[in-house]
A and B are shown apart, each in its own frame.
Chain A
Amino acid sequence: MSLEIEKRVLLTLVTEAVVEQSLLADLDRLGLRGYTVTNARGRGNRGVRDAAWDEAANIRVEIVCKRDLAELLLAHLRDHYYANYAMITFLHEVEVMRPEKF
C-alpha cells in the first residue's frame, strides 16, 4: 500500500510568552490554520529565560505549512517582532501524511 506523503516546512519560533495572544491573532489573520504552542525555557542573547514567572517565560510555537505561507509569516515576524522582542525562528523541511491538513 502506498502512503500519500508530501513535503511541507516546519516553522519553529521561540519567543516571549507575553506576545502569545497578539502573535497568534496575527498568525490567524495571515491565514494559518493550525499551530502547536508549548512552554519553553532556555538561554540566548537576552539572558536566561527560565519561565519561572511571566516576564521571563518563553513559548515555542510550531507551525507546519506550505513554504510560501511560512515565508509570508517570517516576513511578518521580522517586520513586527524581531526588533523589540526576544525571538528566534527556523525552518525545517518535513514530510507529512494527510497533506490537506497543512
Chain B
Amino acid sequence: MIDVVVLFFLLGLLAGLARSELKLPPALYDSLSLLLLLAIGLKGGEGLARQPLLPLLPQLGGVILLGMAQTLIGYIALRRFGRFDRANAAAIAAHYGSVSVATFAVGVNWLNVRGIAFEPQLPIFLAVMEVPAILVGIVLARGMATKTDWRRIAHESFLGKGVVLLLGGMAIGWVAGPEGLAPIRPLFFDLFKGVLAIFLLEMGLIVARQTSELRRRGLFVVGFGLIMPGFSAILGIACGMAMGLSVGGLTLLATLAASASYIAVPATMRLAVPEANPGLSLAAVLGVTFPFNILIGIPIYHWLASMLAGGNS
C-alpha cells in the first residue's frame, strides 16, 4: 500500500503535468521545509540525549567518506560514460554525493508507518552528509590551487539553512529532553505527516516543471538518475553494516546515500562553478531521482537491507 503522503506528491505531479493553476505561495514552501528540518532535528536530539556521543565520531567519519566516495564515483561515470565536461560532471556528481531532506523525511515516515525503529543519529548523518560532496565537487571542477573563494563557500555550506536548522533542532532536542519537548510536541511531531504531505504536494509541482527540461536532456540523464541512486544505496548499506546499524537504520542510510540534493548544492555550485548548467543537474535530481526514491526506491532499499542484514535486526 502506498503511503498517504506520497499520494499528495502524485497529486502535485498530476496537477503540474496537467498545467493546473495550482501554486503554493513560496513562503509556505519555506515554512514547511523549516518545520520539517526542525522536527527531524528535534527528534534526533531527543534520542541522542539517551546515549553516549563519543562512539558516534567514527560513524560520522564513515558517512563523510561515503558522501565523498559517491561524488567521485558519480564524476567518473559522468565523464567516462556521459562524456560531460569537467564542470558539469563535477556539479552533477556533487548533487548526488549530497543528500535530500525531503527524501529522508519520506523514508522516516515510511519506517514510522510500519513501526520499524531506527537509530537516533541518522538525522546527524543527514546534516553531516550535506557538505562533503559540495567541497569534493568544487575541487573536481576547479582543482585545489585556483581562486575559489573558500571562505564564502564554507559560509554558504556550513551555515546554510539546512545545516543550521538540523543541528540547531538537534541541540534543542538534546538539551530539552522528552519532558522539555512535550509542549511543542503537537506542532513538530504530531503534525509531521500533515506538514510532509503539503510539502510533497509542492514537490510534485516542482518535479512536473522539470519534464520539458528532461525531454531535452535525453536518455543518459534519465539512466544516470536511476542507476546512481541504486548504486549509492548499496554503498550506503555496506557503510551502515560496518557500523552495525539496525535494518531501519540501514534503510535510512541507504535512502540518504541514494538521495540527491536539490537545495543546498544547486545554490552553492551555482556560485562556485557558475559555468555548469544548473538545469542539467536539477532535471536529473528532481525529474528522475527524487520521484524514483520516494515511489519505488525506499521499499527496495528496505528489502535489500533486510536481505543483507536480516540477522542483526
A52 touches B23 (CB 8 A): yes
Q: Please report the C-alpha to C-alpha distance between residue A52 and residue B201 in the assembled complex, in whole angstroms.
A: 13
Q: Please report the C-alpha to C-alpha distance between residue A47 and residue B209 in the assembled complex, in whole angstroms.
A: 11
| A18 partner, pick from B23, B152, B206, B270, beta carbons under 8 A | B270
The stretch of B129-137, B220-228, B274-282, B301-309 in contact with A is: B274-282
Residue of B29, B271, B279 ringed by the most chain A CB atoms within 10 A: B271
Chain A, Cβ-Cβ closest to B273: A84
Determine whether B26 belongs to the interface, using a CB cutoff of 8 Å to chain A. yes
A54-102: which residues lie under 8 A (CB-CB) from chain B? 54-55, 57, 83-85
| B29 partner, pick from A19, A47, A53, A83, beta carbons under 8 A | A53
Q: Please report the C-alpha to C-alpha distance between residue A52 and residue B30 in the assembled complex, in whole angstroms.
A: 10
CB of A19, distance to nearest CB on chain B (Å)? 7
A54 touches B274 (CB 8 A): no
Beyond A51-B26, A54-B263, A55-B266, whether A19 also contacts B275 by CB under 8 A is: no
CB of B205, distance to nearest CB on chain A (Å)? 8
Chain B, Cβ-Cβ closest to A57: B26
Chain A, Cβ-Cβ closest to B267: A18
A22 touches B274 (CB 8 A): no
Classify chain B's interface size. Answer: 10 to 19
B267 touches A52 (CB 8 A): no
B275 touches A83 (CB 8 A): yes
Task: Determine chain B's interface SS by DSSP, over half rule.
Answer: helix
Q: Which chain B positions have C-beta within 8 A of A57?
A: 26
How many A-B residue pairs lie within 8 Å, measured between CB atoms?
A: 36
Beyond A52-B23, A52-B26, A55-B282, whether A22 also contacts B271 by CB under 8 A is: yes
CB of B140, distance to nearest CB on chain A (Å)? 18
Chain A, Cβ-Cβ closest to B268: A18
Q: Which chain B positions have C-beta within 8 A of A52?
A: 23-24, 26, 29, 205-206
CB of A5, distance to nearest CB on chain B (Å)? 39
CB of B30, distance to nearest CB on chain A (Å)? 8
A55 touches B274 (CB 8 A): no
Chain A, Cβ-Cβ closest to B262: A55
How does the 8 Å CB contact mask read for A16-54 relative to B, with 1 for contact and 0 for none? Answer: 101100100000000000000000000000010001111
Q: Which chain B positions have C-beta within 8 A of A55?
A: 262, 266-267, 270, 278, 282
Q: Please report the C-alpha to C-alpha distance between residue A19 and residue B24 in the assembled complex, in whole angstroms.
A: 24
CB of B63, distance to nearest CB on chain A (Å)? 25
A19 touches B26 (CB 8 A): no
Residue of A16, A52, A57 ringed by the most chain B CB atoms within 10 A: A52
B263 touches A84 (CB 8 A): no
CB of A43, distance to nearest CB on chain B (Å)? 13
Chain B, Cβ-Cβ closest to A16: B270
Q: Please report the C-alpha to C-alpha distance between residue A52 and residue B210 in the assembled complex, in whole angstroms.
A: 13
Chain A, Cβ-Cβ closest to B286: A55
Closest 3 CB pairs between A and B? Answer: A84-B274, A18-B270, A55-B266
27 inter-chain pairs at a CB distance below 8 angstroms, sorted by A residue, are A16-B270, A18-B267, A18-B270, A18-B271, A22-B152, A47-B279, A51-B26, A52-B23, A52-B24, A52-B205, A52-B206, A53-B26, A53-B206, A54-B263, A54-B266, A54-B267, A55-B262, A55-B266, A55-B267, A55-B270, A55-B278, A55-B282, A57-B26, A83-B274, A83-B275, A84-B275, A85-B270
Q: Which residues of B are in contact with A by a Cβ distance under 8 Å?
A: 23-24, 26, 29, 152, 205-206, 262-263, 266-267, 270-271, 274-275, 278-279, 282
Given contacts A55-B278, A85-B270, 18 further A-B contacts (CB under 8 A): A16-B270, A18-B271, A19-B271, A22-B152, A51-B26, A52-B23, A52-B24, A52-B29, A52-B206, A53-B206, A54-B263, A54-B266, A55-B262, A55-B266, A55-B270, A83-B274, A83-B275, A84-B274
Q: Which residues of A are in contact with B by a Cβ distance under 8 Å?
A: 16, 18-19, 22, 47, 51-55, 57, 83-85
